[in-house]
Chains A and B, each alone.
Chain A
Amino acid sequence: MKRLLPVLILLAPAVAIAELRVFACEPEWAALADEIGREHVQTYSATTALQDPHYIQARPSLIAKVRRADLVICSGAQLEIGWLPALLQKANNRDVMPGSDGYMEASSWVLRLDATANVDRARGDIHPQGNPHVQMNPHNVTAVARALAQRLASIDADNSETYRSNLELFLEKWQAAIAGWEARAASLRGKRMITHHKSWVYLQDWLGLEAVANLEPVAGLPPTATHLSRLTKEFAGGVVDVIVRAPYQDARASEWLSDRLGVDAIVLPLSVGGTAEAQDLITMFDDIIDRLLRATHHA
């Protein structure tokens, strides 16, 4: 041990400036961790915005990342139920087990919509804890940002002041951006949307958009011809304003319906990187509102 001591002293400075490793299940939480942790965190996103986060393989590379993570941040509400438990089980990292400071589910910090006690799977792959796509309301992101700053501070107490001031800077920028989005999106209130999957309930709730139907016959199942032809009958005659899908959802169903109804079918970024414009959290919402305004006002 005595002989090791000089080695440990040599290593000590390296340890002091070491970054926190943040494993985010989705890119939006990686982006948020970057905003609040800045140079003190090294973030990794398990998924890209072009992948359906419900259907991810518990890949060896992800297990290796969780093994070394200081913080795991995921949407939760069962979005990652098919793979995250397998990663946590295989990764042998006690610091990020649920219940520890190193594990947080973003959806636990917001008011979840669509929570239900009825989990009958005849109605599809229902999430009893509510809809997990909480990042689509920027007010939710505010709440998660506060919780995340606190977690980073408790894991890395030495830099807790930095995380707090980064949070203040971010929220200042963020609240100003929200005011801008809400002003620009005022004309979107009451617009009627058909969506591929119920990925946008928080966006609809925030901007007062009306969800009229989904392309999926029940949650999680691919669109069927019967269901689509029913939609063409039900929504003929200009009663729908826009058809929306996420980048990872098959384009064919919404394009087909778009032709029949004469309404734009658009892709909105559900996470950072979902479109070329959505480079970070702010440009993601900029782009969502741009695209919605373009699709609903050109006619």
Chain B
Amino acid sequence: MRIVFYPGAILALTLITPAASFAQDTHIEAVRAELAALRSEYDARIAELERRLAVAEQNAAQATAAARPAPSAPSYMTGDPTFNPAIGVVFQGFLNANEGEPGEEEGFAVGETELIMNANVDDKFAAYLTAALAFEDGESAIEIEEAWVETTALPAGLSARFGRMFSGFGYENARHMHTLDFTDRALPYQAFFDEGRYADNGVQVRWLAPTDLFLELGGELMQGEGDPSGVGAHTLFANVGGDVGTGHSWLAGLSRLEQDSGQEVTGAHLVWKWAPHGNWKQRNFIFQAEYLENRIFGTDEGWYAQAVYQPIPRWRVGARLDGLRLVDEDPKRQTVMVDWSNSEFSRLRLQFTNNQTGPADVAEWSLQYIHSIGAHGAHTF
């Protein structure tokens, strides 16, 4: 209450004091100075009182804080209570040029524009949708990449996911294009799966061991390519991982996919990441390698190994070797890239590939942009 009197006092002084000091200029000056001094003193005291009031209010709020109910929970996938569901859009596009053999995909290309929506459904389920908006053969097309529901409240380290999903097979398989470190998928994925990945409709179950070592076991029953009315495919996968000191962390896994159509794919992967003191923002390094064996009519093998280094914030450089061992040929590629990210939400990438998969070597250049707006997505390891 006392606060109210001070502005009143200033107002009174402002009105009365000049009226009483009308005679001499010097006197006016003196009074002005006095007034200014008073004013600043009162301003300071008011500010101090306001600060004390704020502190008192804060203390009062804190005293009741412990009794307050838990704040309404944001979706575990977004942490952003502003929108439900969380919506994000990722824009991607390319400018491609080839030297040597002319390629099909030269010139400008707008890649998949990914529309991502997710939220908790209720206290036991969460749902996730990724739709790829593409422009193919002169027509707009929408492809449902993933549309699944996942349990969030199963006991004993279990979770189940059902719907359409990128399979948990391998490492790169479950990753969306905009999270890759190169403009395209590695050769074994391109060679062994439609659209460079295994996505299907079905159920996935994952179990996480209650150990300090990360140990995850999972499996999927999928529609597959065979009988559309039944279960035509299944997968099994196991992942282990951990840290070495504060700077290093790793993930390794084995996985297997069997389709009723006869395709059997076995995969092994290793990912190693490093940042000084684990402080990812300044400098970091990622090594990633996978080996895939694909049996369908004969046995094909495929592999890639890649390394990406961020020497300073915003800039990264990377190199990748990938290849296949087919019955009668060994196609290979060597790729280097450099990318620049203005922020977490924008990235420009220049990539060069020496492509030795055809009859003649082709030098491929690609300039890519990846920009995202909306919900701030969290990325898996």
Contacts and interface: CB of A to CB of B under 8 A. Distances in A.
A60 B214 contact: yes
A121 B206 CA distance: 36
B240 interface: yes
Contacts of A61: 212, 214, 241-243, 249
A185 B242 CA distance: 43
A219 B262 CA distance: 53
Nearest to A108: B71
A102 to B, nearest CB: 11
A94 interface: yes
A98 B74 contact: yes
A83 B378 contact: yes
Given A85-B378, A248-B281, A147 B249 contact: no
Contacts of A51: 277-280
A85 to B, nearest CB: 4
B53 interface: no
B82 interface: yes
Interface in B254-309: 273, 275, 277-282
Nearest to B152: A97
A85 B153 contact: no
Interface stretch (B28-36, B90-98, B342-350): B342-350
A60 B66 contact: no
B59 interface: yes
B67 to A, nearest CB: 8
Interface residues of B, number: 72
Contacts of A139: 55, 58-59, 62
A208 B47 CA distance: 11
Contacts of B109: none
A94 B378 CA distance: 19
B158 A92 contact: yes
A56 B246 CA distance: 12
B163 interface: no
Interface in A19-55: 47-48, 50-52, 54-55
Residue among B59, B65, B209, B210 having the largest count of chain A Cβ atoms under 10 Å:
B65
Contacts of A105: 71
Given A58-B378, A59-B241, A64-B211, A146 B66 contact: yes
B376 to A, nearest CB: 5
Nearest to A119: B82
B229 interface: no
A262 interface: no
Interface in B325-381: 342-345, 373, 376-381
Interface residues of A, number: 64
Contacts of A159: none
A8 interface: no
A118 B380 CA distance: 28
Given A65-B212, A139-B55, A149-B66, A86 B379 contact: yes
B65 to A, nearest CB: 5
Contacts of A101: 70
Contact of B343 (A56, A57, A125, A143): A125
B242 A60 contact: yes
B365 to A, nearest CB: 28
Contacts of A76: 79
Interface string B64-86: 01101011011111111110000
Contacts of B215: 64
B288 to A, nearest CB: 13
A199 interface: no
A60 B277 contact: no
A58 B379 contact: yes
A48 B246 contact: yes
Contact of B249 (A59, A104, A109): A59
Given A59-B249, A86-B378, A150-B66, A92 B154 contact: yes
A237 interface: no
B157 interface: yes
B39 interface: no
B250 interface: yes
B321 interface: no
A180 interface: no
B104 interface: no
Contacts of A90: 208, 216, 380
Closest 9 CB pairs of A and B: A60-B241, A99-B73, A60-B214, A143-B62, A146-B66, A98-B73, A85-B378, A64-B214, A55-B281
14 contacts: A50-B277, A58-B379, A58-B381, A59-B273, A60-B240, A61-B249, A81-B376, A82-B378, A89-B378, A98-B75, A101-B70, A121-B343, A146-B65, A248-B282
Given A59-B241, A109-B65, 4 more contacts: A67-B210, A89-B150, A90-B208, A139-B55
Interface of B: 51, 55, 58-59, 61-62, 65-66, 68, 70-71, 73-82, 123, 126, 150, 152-155, 157-159, 206-216, 239-243, 246, 249-251, 273, 275, 277-282, 313-314, 342-345, 373, 376-381
